[in-house]
Structure 1
Amino acid sequence: MIRGVAVSPGVVVAKAYCLDEVFVQLPTAKLTAADISLELSRFQQACDGAADELKDLIETVSHDIGEPESAIFQAQLVMLRDRAFVDKVKTYIVESQEDAASCLHRTMREYEELFSKIEDEYLRERLVDLRDVVARVQHQLSEGSPPELPETDGPVIIVAEELLPSQTVRFDDIDIAGIATERGGQTSHAAIIARSMGIPAVSGIPKIRDQVSNGDTIALDGRQGCLIVNPGPEAEAAYRKLEREFFDLKDYLIENRDQLAVTRDGVAIELLANINTVEDAQAATDVGAQGIGLFRTEYLFMTHPGIPTEEEQFEAYAKTVNASPLGRLTIRTLDLGGDKTVPYLGDHREANPFMGWRSIRMSIEHPDFFRKQVRAILRAAAEGEVRMMFPMISTVEELRRVNRMVWQVEEQLDKDGIAHGKAQLGMMIEVPAAAVCIEHFLDHTDFVSVGTNDLIQYLMAADRDNSRVAHLCDPLNPASLCLLRQVIEACQRRGKPVSVCGEMAGRPRCVLALLAFGLTSFSMSPAFVPIVKELVHSLDFSLIRELGDEILLRRSSTQVGSFLDKVLQEVNPRLAALDVQHGV
């Protein structure tokens, strides 16, 4: 048995699908002598197409963002025009009589070996640019569609050293039953992706790629934080029984989709959903969410081949409003940086990107870029009840500045005679400084949403994606709970709507703590809406409210977790199976 960090509950048995293998090992096609000249021509056309794509991108980035930020694409264009690289691929096509894609990747592997021997760190990092060039040519070779991933026979467990947001774009056609990664903790992107899909996941497994091969059978327990590779017949049968029980419980809970989230003593609790796409918005409607509490707009930018135009953004936002439950949508402005990057905003390598130039700081530095998104959001606001939310606000000055920018855009839309709606403006509490001084911000915001994932990692000075310190980001640690209670109570005193949109909002034990502090609005992955609704139906709000002080008497996350375990067992013991085990 291999142990890691429990990040998304549930049990599953399926075949391993190792990302580094499937993304590199593409099938090779042998050519006849007559096909070689056609393949050479096809490769050259792909290179020309990639070059045209880069030229368009350089022009767009230079116009929309700035000349310096287009330098990375200019460098890639130089690489693409390097005769040594291009001629090497052509030579392999002729000599090996293999297809252009295979020869392209063969050449890429040779360059990777050469770059690995370079001592200069800056030059080594240029390999990233070369990989991007190869990806663009590959995209052209596949006639505008990404190369197909190997077919899978039934559901699979994704196995990877790390799972990045950009990689998930290609998962649409894969039946993913679970996720296992080496890096990451309970609020890592692998965990967030798993919870959004409602599937089990385990992270923090040392050297997982040395222990698992493509096609291995894996029994994965996302609640206990463990997995078994190629289990014996008895162990596999036991895990398959647990798997059936897990899915039977989820199927039972989905039946509450049309019921209101009201406690036994009549208190209404607002259950919203976190989404990335219009398809997610429809999923939120299907599970009975009451609106969208967080629409992550950065995924639109990360999956676009260039920079989304204002019209493209407007269409995406308008479709999402119309697909959202009750037409209620909270749109977060661009939250790039950290591990969510796009090359056209510059090649800014930082020692600690999560605490550097990211999110609203990036938007403020590129006002025209930011205003284009704001225009699209305001235009979409005419379609329904839309709110606009600013991420990673650190100071009152930042908040006032972005508010003014939105008001200026509204005035310009009026002058231009362009139809738009009126959006409430809110802020996310992710930076401890903003949480500590929450009272200073409340005069300048219509609502508050607490992003507990980032707030806790900043509060604890621990990278949530680093498995060696991710345990410090336990949401039940007393420091985090004290700060959350302070924010919730401050907002309620001032009559400002407040919700939690981090992963805490979908974990039954954490929900109990937040309810005890008086919170009545939660935004979570759609898959967790039925679970939290079932919890709400099982409790008396007035009795849970009496536990607030008692929770904070505990001096460690272990003590808090044990206390909430007992409360959950009393309220609804079945839901314990749908929460990760505390302390794992």
Structure 2
Amino acid sequence: MRKDSVKSSQELKLKGIPISPGILIAPVRVIRKEKIKIKEKILKSEREIEEEIQKFHTGVEELKRILLDLKKETQEENLKVLLDIQITILSDEEMQRDIITFIRNKRKNVESAIQYVLNSRKEALLKQGSSYFAERAGELERLASDLISVINKSYTIADFNFDGIIVIESLSIDEALRIIRSNVKGVITEKGGRTEHSAIVLRNFKIPAVFGIEKITKLLEDDDIVILDGGKGVVIINPMESTLKRYQLIKIDYEKYESELVSERELPPITTDGKVIGLFANIDVPEEVEELLKTGKYGIGLFRTEMIFKEYGDNEEAQYKIYLEIARKVYPNSVTIRAFDIGGDKLYTDYQEDNPFLGLRGIRVLLDEPTLFEKQIRAVIRANELSNVRFMLPMVATVEEVVEAKKIFIQAKKVLEREYMKVNQPRFGIMVEIPSAVLLLEHIAEIIDFISIGTNDLTQYTLAVDRKNQRVSKIFDHLNPAVLKLIKIATDVCREKNILVASCGEITSDPYGVVALVGLGVDELSCPPSRIPEVKSLIRRINLQEAENIASNVVKLQNSKEVKKVIKEYIKKIMPELLEFYD
């Protein structure tokens, strides 16, 4: 046994992040990557400096070649685009210039330069205060590690030729692509989150996965038998005979359950008493649209454009083409494009904040940088050729922010009308993520067409809790009555003003949250594409009147535990099989 192993013979149940649903009982292969140890070297001559710069250029080209070879082997166009993103980062002129400048000015070796420059970029992403950007930071860290390995000629391709579960510290996009072409049945990692590109690939190809289980590579050895429950984010080590038998039955039930979901593919998301609930998908990158369309004919309720900003923030034409292509693909359904939700550090050199959660972010940044904002607005308006595009503002806190943004929006439309004669104005809305936006909604409602309740941030700001902080993350719960009360206030105002209410965030794929949102009067739910079939199946079993009665009761309760207990009894009555597979 390895020195650092903490293996035990007792059954151990571990909870991680549910990435891709499915139940496996299988042996594992543990892949342990050697930690890269960077030895700083001071360059004494100009010749040494030039040699290090050449090593950098050679390493970049070699890693690009590896990724291009993988791209040639990849059949799916949407997955090729994911590799293109990695190649684009390696080809980024600013990044290359910063590394070369560091080598010249600091007179240090290429490995130190890569580590410093890419680590600085990683830290900037982490300061955004968003799990989405934290996951992008993790991807950047892995790319830096691969580049250094290539330069040091220590880059190896992990062997995924295994008929079982891969256990690994973290999973890169190229590793995920190799896994889907192998016999691998499932994946467990120590790091990572739901919006990582590798997670998207595993979900799209229905490979059960759980991310974020600390020290899992130390707890397991090759060929250990584990139970992986991707829906609940559970991994069971050393399962007892009784546990194995129980999960073998659950696995059979789950496979039957999945086939029943497929049989409902063409059915509408409508309650038993005739209320149609709009069902949409959240996407982070354009390539997810193709996989969404395989699920059925759905629109997009939240298109996060931060990756677009990274590549094309200053390029109206490129943005226009991307938005237009997506709008055409989902037509006649709609796509809701969220304006860039970025922090000040993405725009201003050496910009730092003590608390990015409460600083220059979202609409505040966009109003500070009207040229950047106008380019995105123009691209969105131009892309509305089929009148199925919506546009919404992130992180709204005041009425004044919406008024100012709406002025820029209307002015951009007028300018475009002069340029193109006729354009279709997209519906204009806001993300409701801050309690003040809820409390001011009766005024904001006068100048918008819809709202989308972003429950992740609304929960975070209502409960004053950072969900990534492990010491307090257990307080984060979108079923807290305080959060549900704010949602009720928002839906009541919108009903009075005849404004559509959508919701996105983790609550929309939580069965308990779905029942609550339907009962609270939310018109549309937007969730990850992989969860749409299940959410639709649940909606089709909900009675609106019963859900409204439940919602009116749970907002009066003291805590989320009580809320969950009430809703659990209802789910047990209308869809008991669901409780077998999800907490």
Q: How big is each residue's C-alpha offset from its partner over 1:401-457, in whole Å with a ceiling of 9 and x where there is no partner?
A: 111111222222223337643211100001111122221211121100000011101
1:352 maps to which of 352, 355, 372:
355
Residue 9 of structure 2 is matched in structure 1 by: none
Q: Is the 8 A contact 2:398 2:440 kept in 1?
A: no
The alpha carbon displacement at 1:246 in A equals: 2.6
Residue number in structure 2 paired with 1:285: 293
The superposition leaves residues 516-547 of structure 1 with CA deviations (integer Å, 9 ceiling, x where unpaired) of: 22223111111121112111222321232222
Q: Secondary structure at the match of 1:85?
A: coil
- Structure 1 distance, partners of 2:485, 2:96, is 47
Any residues of structure 2 matched to 1:373-522 within 5 Å, and which? Answer: 373-417=376-420, 420-522=423-525
The alignment's C-alpha RMSD in Å is 4.4
Q: How far is 1:135 from its partner?
A: 4.0
Q: Which residue in 2 is equivalent to 1:4?
A: 15
Q: Tell me what 1:123 maps to.
A: none
Query: Corresponding residue for 1:271?
Result: 279
Moved more, 489-498 or 319-328: 319-328
Sort the Cα spacing of 1:54 and 1:271 in 2 relative to 1 into closer, same or farther, 3 A: closer
Following TM superposition, by how much is the alpha carbon of 1:282 offset from its aligned partner in structure 2, in angstroms? 2.9
Letter of the 1:277 partner, please give it.
V
Structure 1 equivalent of residue 67 of structure 2:
none
Alignment equivalent of 1:535, drawn from 531, 535, 538: 538
Paired residue total: 504
One-letter code aligned to 1:43: K
Distance 2:142 2:512 in 1: 47
1:487–1:407 Cα change, 3 Å? same
Q: Which amino acid is 2:368 matched to?
A: E
Give the corresponding residue for 1:332: 338
Note the C-alpha offset of 1:566.
Answer: 0.6
Distance 1:266 1:404, change over 3 A: same
Equivalent residue for 1:317? 323
Task: Say if 2:571 is the partner of 1:565.
Answer: no
| Per-residue deviation, 1:82 | 5.1
Structure 1 pair 428/182, CA: closer, same or farther in 2 (3 Å)?
same
* Distance verdict in 2 for CA 1:435–1:199, change over 3 Å: farther
Does the 8 A contact of 1:194 with 1:201 survive in 2?
no
Deviation of 1:41 (Å)? 10
Q: Larger relative contact order (C-alpha < 8 A, sep ≥ 6)? A: 1
| Contact 2:507–2:514 (CA under 8 A) maintained in structure 1 | yes
Query: Using the alignment, how far apart are the partners of 1:483 and 1:195 within structure 2?
Result: 35
CA 1:183–1:228 in 2, change beyond 3 Å: closer, same or farther?
same
Separation in 1 of the partners of 2:309 and 2:31?
Answer: 23
TM-score (ref. length: structure 2): 0.73
Contact 2:31 2:166 in 1 (8 A): no
Whole-Å separation in 1 of the counterparts to 2:142 and 2:189: 29
Is 570-579 or 500-509 further displaced after alignment? 570-579
Q: Does 1:251 align with 2:270?
A: no
Deviation of 1:172 after TM superposition, in Å, equals 4.5
Q: Which residue of 2 aligns with 1:81?
A: 104
CA distance in 1, matches of 2:368, 2:32: 36
Contact (CA 8 Å) 1:287, 1:526: kept in 2 or not? yes
Kept in 1: contact 2:53–2:100 (CA 8 A)? no
Query: C-alpha offsets along residues 28-66 of structure 1, whole Å, 9 cap, x if unaligned?
Result: xxxxxxxxxxx999636448989x9999855xxxxxxxx
Gapped regions of structure 2 (runs ≥ 5): 1-11, 38-50, 65-87, 119-136
C-alpha distance in 2, partners of 1:82/1:359?
35
1:133 Cα deviation after fit = 13
Measured against aligned partners, the alpha-carbon deviations of 1:315-351 in whole angstroms (never above 9, x if no partner) come to: 21111112225241111111124xxx98565443433
Checking the alignment, whether the CA contact within 8 Å between 1:328 and 1:385 is kept in structure 2 is: yes
Percent identical pairs in the alignment equals 28
- The answer as to 2:157 corresponding to 1:152 is no
